[in-house]
Amino acid sequence: MSHARTIVAEPLTREAFAPFGEVIDTRGADSFPINQGRTERFHALATVELLGKDAQGILSIFRGQPLSPLKITLMERHPLGSQAFVPMNNGAFLAVVAPPGEFDESLVRVFLAGGNQGLSYRAGTWHAPLLPLDPNSDYLVVDRQGAGNNCDEITLAGPITPVLPSN
């Protein structure tokens, strides 16, 4: 596949995103009260995968800028661990993904995540680099550090242009 194409962004739902990872969202999640009833805990919204020798889970903040023009030419994957993104400024963002394994451009999907949703890519899931829709968007990132190469990149045969759904 070597031609440019557009893909309309789908709403980010747990069911639709399941092949690629987990949605971090309180809507529809299990919860229970803690701290003498003053706090509602939305429990185990996503898991953290840490594969390989001396792997450690880390927390970072990424500050991203919108891609302009919005054309995806690169995909990456992290074979040794999951990677979670939780927006801190309530800004929407795009998740451009393809299943783990040998990269297949025909299987790329685009999801529109609301500013009240995060996501966690499963280890090995192909995804575009961070795609915030607003300038100076901060994300809490849960990630892996440790021995081994945990980032594979591939250049697309033709650019993909995500299209935001019209309301």
Question: Structural domain tally of the chain?
Answer: 1
> What's the rounded Cα separation, in Å, for the pair 165 and 167?
6
Q: Residue 5: what are its φ and ψ, rounded to 5°?
A: -150, 160
**pLDDT tens, position by position, for the chain (167 residues)?**
568 899 999 999 999 999 999 999 999 999 999 998 999 999 999 999 999 989 999 999 999 999 999 999 999 999 999 999 999 999 999 999 999 999 999 999 999 999 999 999 999 999 999 999 999 999 999 999 999 999 999 999 999 999 998 86
> What's the rounded Cα separation, in Å, for the pair 46 and 57?
13
Query: 89: domain CATH number?
Result: 2.60.120.480
Global confidence as pTM: 0.90
> What's the rounded Cα separation, in Å, for the pair 88 and 66?
15
The domain containing residue 142 runs over which residues?
5-163
Would you give the end-to-end CA distance of the chain in angstroms?
30
Cβ neighbours, 10 Å, residue 82: 23
Three-state DSSP class for 17?
Answer: helix
